[in-house]
Chain A
């Protein structure tokens, strides 16, 4: 019972956290038509910004140069700003590229950021990363830390979903949809496509930065290994799993994927080899799920049927 509760809590925590990423990706891809294969970069930018802002100034063996020792909420805001800044930096030159070219360039930018974090020890101790990242004291609320952070992640997810929903229901959202459906027509009625796409890209990266800060609080550690391209693939799989375009589907897809991984991780293994095989099995099943879902698209078929009825 206790393990089930623990797994449930972990799924709620990381599921909500990654749902923020999937929701943002959904806005970029399903609404804005942009394939961002560098999602992890904005996540990493947020986490590192939070860690650097809240970290004490370096001493001893530390190789990082800046630690501002500010309260957590300053770090949280800084994380959003950092992700936004990185989105402006990367979006401005690349968004005129189309489809897969955009996918590859964003992917490249994410790899570059990762490489910078590994090689420039002045940012965050290189591969060692920043440990003991500060986080607000959860005991004030009288609940265990895991519950508080799970609730915080859930709240961030709800806030993101609400904000995006409001945005998409507004005339602005309809302009975004118009561009996705027919660029020429949208341009003909005077919508500035490049500008709208850029705005969607930047706006949707802000919650990713916040999620990064929360992730740093939960793990109390940031290092380049945590922010590899696997995170990007993970979020994409979740998006595909949930079926794009509906906010609820996106969230359920992410939760299902996190749950699936947590259940496999909770199985005790006798040997290293068995654990290794289980880890590979996780990859294989994830991959097959991916292929099967894309091929038969059960979720969109379901949605179509509901519409027809």
Chain B
């Protein structure tokens, strides 16, 4: 029983990471209207900038992470303006396939610069804490804490600030938002910064809790897609629920099924969910 609870707890950590990784993806999906396959590569970009500054240049972890997140946000904005903006009118399928091209370019660049092999950050080893017989490391707690913090601040941002409201208006109905005087281009830029910055944050988390290799991003996109489909198109709150469901389902499944099937569980959940409810958890339809 304790073992099962332990798996569930690990699942919560995985879920929190997935939430961080998926929120930016969902935001892009809602405001820009397409699935950004290259989003996962942005996690890799941020993770490797952190690694380069921390393990390579010998910086402490926190400034490295901050620089990595800001840099990733700017790179995301740059890619958004140069690649995606001009082709948005060609429809979501074209942009989706273009983002595969972007993913290829980023992955190729990372491969060329960093090379293969496994990397770790230059940080103290994780300390394990025990609560009621359940183990959790300090880095895992950071992931959970940051996911909660991000969720709350994002909710405040989207509900209280002008830019946040503009982003929500854009995601609900772009034409109406534009006709009501919302600066579409500026809002789109803010979204790119925000979603890439979130990818950057998730990338730093990834560097903290996992060993890094250049093909890491590809494994993340599968899970991000799973969470995003499960959450559907509606609110960002459904991403939180979906992230936790997928995370817990994947880790708890290890209790009964061989661990090799862990990624498969994510998709089984999604396929079942799609068949039962094709519009995702949030039940909202896009017009």
Footprint of B on A, CB under 8 Å? 35, 93-94, 96-97, 99-101, 103-105, 107-109, 111-112, 115-116, 118-119, 229, 233, 236-237, 240, 273, 276-277, 279-284, 286-291, 294-295
- Complex formed: what's the CA distance from A105 to B98 in Å? 19
A295 partner residues in chain B, CB cutoff 8 A: 83, 86-87, 98
- Complex formed: what's the CA distance from A109 to B275 in Å? 13
Q: Residue B8 at the A interface, CB < 8 A?
A: no
Question: Which of B218, B226, B270, B274 has its CB near the most chain A CB atoms (within 10 A)?
Answer: B274
Are the CB atoms of A105 and B271 closer together than 8 Å?
A: yes
Are the CB atoms of A288 and B264 closer together than 8 Å?
A: no
- From the candidates A101, A273, A287, A290, name the one contacting B229 in the complex (CB within 8 A): A101
A291 partner residues in chain B, CB cutoff 8 A: 83, 98, 101-102, 105
Are the CB atoms of A290 and B267 closer together than 8 Å?
A: no
List 11 A-B pairs, Cβ < 8 Å: A35-B96, A93-B271, A93-B275, A111-B263, A112-B268, A276-B115, A276-B116, A280-B108, A284-B112, A287-B103, A294-B90
A interface SS class? helix
- From the candidates A94, A105, A294, name the one contacting B97 in the complex (CB within 8 A): A294
Q: A119-B260, A294-B87, A294-B90 are in contact. Are A283 and B98 (CB under 8 A)?
A: no
- Complex formed: what's the CA distance from A115 to B268 in Å? 12
**Contact bitstring B80-100, A, C-beta under 8 A = 1, else 0:** 000100110010111011101
A115 partner residues in chain B, CB cutoff 8 A: 260-261, 263-264
Q: What is the distance, in angstroms, from B41's C-beta to the closest C-beta of chain A?
A: 10
Q: Besides A115-B260, A280-B112, A283-B107, 8 other CB < 8 A contacts?
A: A105-B270, A115-B264, A276-B115, A279-B111, A287-B104, A290-B104, A291-B98, A295-B98
Q: Residue B42 at the A interface, CB < 8 A?
A: no
- Complex formed: what's the CA distance from A109 to B274 in Å? 13
Q: A112-B268, A276-B115, A276-B116 are in contact. Are A101 and B274 (CB under 8 A)?
A: yes
A233 partner residues in chain B, CB cutoff 8 A: 100, 104
- From the candidates A100, A119, A229, A276, name the one contacting B96 in the complex (CB within 8 A): A100
Q: What is the distance, in angstroms, from B231's C-beta to the closest C-beta of chain A?
A: 12
B263 partner residues in chain A, CB cutoff 8 A: 111, 115
Q: What is the distance, in angstroms, from B183's C-beta to the closest C-beta of chain A?
A: 24
Q: What is the distance, in angstroms, from A47's C-beta to the closest C-beta of chain B?
A: 20
Q: Residue B222 at the A interface, CB < 8 A?
A: yes
Q: What is the distance, in angstroms, from A132's C-beta to the closest C-beta of chain B?
A: 25
User: 4 closest Cβ contacts across the A-B interface?
Assistant: A290-B101, A287-B104, A283-B108, A287-B105
Chain A: which residue is nearest B94 at the CB level? A294
- Complex formed: what's the CA distance from A107 to B223 in Å? 12
B225 partner residues in chain A, CB cutoff 8 A: 104, 107-108
- Complex formed: what's the CA distance from A78 to B56 in Å? 54
- Complex formed: what's the CA distance from A111 to B265 in Å? 11
- Complex formed: what's the CA distance from A104 to B222 in Å? 9
- Complex formed: what's the CA distance from A104 to B260 in Å? 21
Q: A105-B274, A276-B115 are in contact. Are A111 and B264 (CB under 8 A)?
A: yes
Q: Residue B149 at the A interface, CB < 8 A?
A: no
Chain A: which residue is nearest B267 at the CB level? A108
Q: Residue B178 at the A interface, CB < 8 A?
A: no
Are the CB atoms of A111 and B222 closer together than 8 Å?
A: yes
Are the CB atoms of B258 and A119 closer together than 8 Å?
A: yes
- Complex formed: what's the CA distance from A120 to B108 in Å? 32
- Complex formed: what's the CA distance from A71 to B271 in Å? 37
Q: Residue B278 at the A interface, CB < 8 A?
A: yes
A273 partner residues in chain B, CB cutoff 8 A: 115
- From the candidates B97, B106, B115, name the one contacting A290 in the complex (CB within 8 A): B97
Q: What is the distance, in angstroms, from A97's C-beta to the closest C-beta of chain B?
A: 6
Chain A: which residue is nearest B38 at the CB level? A287
Q: Residue B109 at the A interface, CB < 8 A?
A: yes
A276 partner residues in chain B, CB cutoff 8 A: 111-112, 115-116
Chain B: which residue is nearest A108 at the CB level? B267
